[in-house]
Amino acid sequence: MKHIAQSESCGSWRLAAAGAALALLAACSTTGQRFNTLALPQIVVGHTTFRQAQNLLGAAPVDIYRQGDGSLTARWAVKASMVADALYVRQELSLRFGPDGRFERVVDSVNVPGEPSKPEDVRPGEPAPRTVAAVPASVSSAPNPVADMSNKGIDNPAISYPLSTQ
């Protein structure tokens, strides 16, 4: 009889441990998409295209706000909460791309280290500092993907309109 009682208590202990592990897993949530936050210094003002920025960051943006002039602001974001908000992580990066499809400036950055490179950091004929791959000259004459106002390939398109003529 003792043997049966011990196995029952051992089984209930395992069941309690499994329940606690399940409760911990249920207390985790993530929204957005992880991206390479260390790639920002590889993005060069006036040189890096929207497509190149996506490749460097390793993810598509979660939001794209297109303007009537062909420019856009793209936002990468990830938020994670674990164990009922005891641990909370938030990273966001919003980048502005001009009508020519090239990076102009950082609009907003939360918990993303570094700054983009400046054009003077890039010598003519040399690749941008710490770039992953050189871009052939033929790509620069390709149609501008930013100017394409269709929502082809975008899961959650958003359109915004300028409030001023600035």
pTM of the predicted structure, to 2 decimals: 0.58
The Cα–Cα gap between 30 and 88 comes to 10
Q: Is residue 117 part of a domain?
A: yes
- In 3D, which of 46, 50, 36, 52 has the Cα closest to residue 117? 46
Q: 115 pLDDT exceeds 60?
A: yes
Half-sphere exposure of 79 (CA within 13 A, CB side): 4
Q: How many CB atoms lie within 10 A of CB 78?
A: 19
Residue with tokens 């918990």, as numbered in its chain: 111
Mean pLDDT of 55-72: 96
The token pair at 43 is 């993005």
Residue with tokens 């929207």, as numbered in its chain: 50
Q: Is residue 27 part of a domain?
A: no
Q: Is residue 109 part of a domain?
A: yes
The Cα–Cα gap between 1 and 82 comes to 43
The Cα–Cα gap between 116 and 45 comes to 7
The confidence band for 82, taking pLDDT boundaries of 50, 70 and 90, is confident
Q: Is residue 106 part of a domain?
A: yes
Element (H, E) at 160: none
Q: Is residue 139 part of a domain?
A: yes
Q: Is residue 13 part of a domain?
A: no
Q: 92 pLDDT exceeds 90?
A: yes
Per the structure, the complete domain to which residue 98 belongs is given by: 32-159
Total domains, the chain: 1
Q: Is residue 120 part of a domain?
A: yes
Q: Is residue 116 part of a domain?
A: yes
Mean pLDDT computed over every residue of the chain: 75
pLDDT value at residue 81: 82
